[in-house]
Amino acid sequence: MSTGTATDAPQKRAPAPATATYRTIARVLGTGAPVYALLIVLLVALAATDPGFYEPDRFLAFVKRAAPLVILAAGQYLVIVCGEFDLSVGAIVTAGVVAAAEVYGTYPDAPWALMTAGLLLAGAAAGLLNGLITTVLRVPSFITTLGMMLILEGAVFYWTGGSPQGRLPEDFRRLGRDTALGWLPWAVLACVVAGVLVVLLMRSDFGRTLVATGDSERAARLAGVRVRRVRVLAFVLSGVAAALAAVLVGGFSGVSAQAGRGYEFEAITAVVLGGVALGGGRGSVVAAMAGAFSLQALFTFLNLQGVSGALESTVQGVIVIAAVGLGAADFSRLRRRAHPPGPPTAAPPAPATPSRTHREGHPHDPQP
């Protein structure tokens, strides 16, 4: 709903020092404040339940397990922040794993690097298709990616006759399963690299135009942003992220016909937990990735607690609703008090972002 936007008065050009400090904190944490709190609570709870949790190899194993979801959340963030959805990522993961196994079935000696690159390229192609259908044909992305999900799952299983015919060789699986230097899981490394890249991306011009596009497409277009191109690129990057997740998941656990099941909802949940508004224009990518870690920490916590498998999903549902509800409430209060200018992402707003133009011109743009 339209929290915060209605009261979003024109910026104060020279804020008082006290509010400035407050604003800095608010800006650094962005809308993600609740997720960091949740993550800390969960990590403390994990330590309390299981004292060995912070032994280096155990903790790294936890991060390794979280890596695919974190990468998916980063990709999903790019799409959500520009005002779209990507429901096809779970299907891309499944299709990626199954297709890799199928190709290995025919060419057992295919080099792993080539295969990985091929998957990333295929993920980019699926994302490109999503983006083009959404922007050029103007199909809502919810429908585009829902259709893509049906098409990808149907196509890959039609191709393989229902189950993959090959297996994933050890060298391909190394990225998801093995460690570098004997202690650092490759997956953790991939996750860190992807995280750094996406943070840099969001600090670049592209990142700002992405947020501006999600904030108000019209204003962004008026400010000279090539809205279509920006959105298509976001979908492409989400597709690549999903393909990378497929490499990690396939490496971690091998061939499975349901490798990506449910990942689309988990990724979107993670992003929203991170305080990113569905509908776009608000939220930081770091918080989105923190959302993914929180979700994984929650799963691990429930597992270690020995919560009856059946009740797990109830707890998950309650926590997600509560966290997002809390975030929404906090956020509106924060904004009313502090009026932080521009989109509260980790990136400081540039002096003349299109977003600012918009905020002055269209204070009542409805938020979904």
Partner 1 sequence: MTGTALAPRPAAAPAKSRTPLGRHRLADPAVGVWLAAAAVTALGWIVVDARGGDFLTLTNVVGILQNSVALGLVAVGQTAVILTGSLDLSVAYLISLGTLVAATTMEDGSVVTGVLAVLALSAAVGLANGLIVTGLKVNAFIATLGTAFILRGWIEDNYTGPAGKVPASFQHLGYDRMGPVPVSLFLLLAVTVALWVITRRTRFGHHLYATGGDEHAARLSGVRTRRTVIAAHVLCSLCVGAAALFLASRLGAGAPWAGTEARYDLESIAAVVLGGTVLAGGRGGVVGTLGGVLVLAVLDSVFNQLGVDPFFKNVVRGVVIIAAVALYARRGARRSA
Partner 2 sequence: MTRNRSPRPRRRPTAPTAAAVLATALLAALTACSSDAPAEAPAASGQNAEQKDDSGDKPSKFFDRAEYDRQLTLSGQTPKGPAARPWEQMLAPKMTDTARYRKKGEADDVDLCFSNAGVFNPWRQVGLKNMKAEVELHDEIDDFTVLDAQGKDDKQISDIQELAGNKDCDALIVSPNTTATLTPAVKEACGKLPVIVFDRGVETDCAVTFINPIGGYGYGAVAADFLVDEVKPKGKILALRISPGVDVLETRWSAAKLAFEKSELDVVDVKFTDGDPAKTKSVVSDAIARHGAIDGVWMDSGATAVAAVEAFEDSGADVPPLTGEDQQDFLETWKDKKLTAIAPTYPTFQWRTPVIAALRILKGEQVPKEWKLPQPTVTEDNLDDYLQDGMPPLHYAMCGCQKLPGFPGAWGGKK
Among 31, 144, 209, 216, which residue sits at the site for partner 1 (rule: CB under 8 A)?
144
Binding-site string for partner 1 from residue 304 to residue 323, where x marks contact by CB under 8 A and - marks none: ----xxxxxxxxxxx-xx--
- Which residue, 202, 241, 294, 36, is CA-closest to 120? 241
Shortest distance, position 310 Cβ to partner 2, whole Å:
6
d(CA 242, CA 120): 8
* 259 lies in the site for partner 2, by CB under 8 A: yes
Helix locations, the chain, DSSP H:
17-29, 33-49, 56-81, 89-106, 112-135, 141-160, 170-177, 186-203, 205-215, 217-222, 227-253, 263-273, 285-305, 312-338, 354-361
d(CA 86, CA 133): 12
* 193 lies in the site for partner 1, by CB under 8 A: no
In the region spanning residues 145 to 204, those forming contacts with partner 2, defined by CB under 8 A, are: 160-167, 177
Tell me phi and psi for residue 180, to 5 degrees: -90, 145
Binding-site string for partner 1 from residue 244 to residue 263, where x marks contact by CB under 8 A and - marks none: --------------------
Judged by CB under 8 A, how many residues of this single chain contact partner 1?
Answer: 52
C-beta closer to partner 2: residue 244 or 259: 259
By a kind-dependent CB cut-off of 5 to 8 A, residue 105 interacts, out of partner 1, partner 2, none, with partner 2
d(CA 29, CA 36): 8
* 272 lies in the site for partner 2, by CB under 8 A: no
In the region spanning residues 55 to 84, those forming contacts with partner 2, defined by CB under 8 A, are: 58, 61, 65
| Residue 343 burial class via C-beta count within 10 angstroms: exposed 0-12, middle 13-18, buried 19 and up | buried
Question: Which residues sit at the interface with partner 2, rule CB under 8 A?
Answer: 50, 52-53, 58, 61, 65, 101, 105, 160-167, 177, 249, 252-259, 261, 299-300, 303-304, 306, 308-310
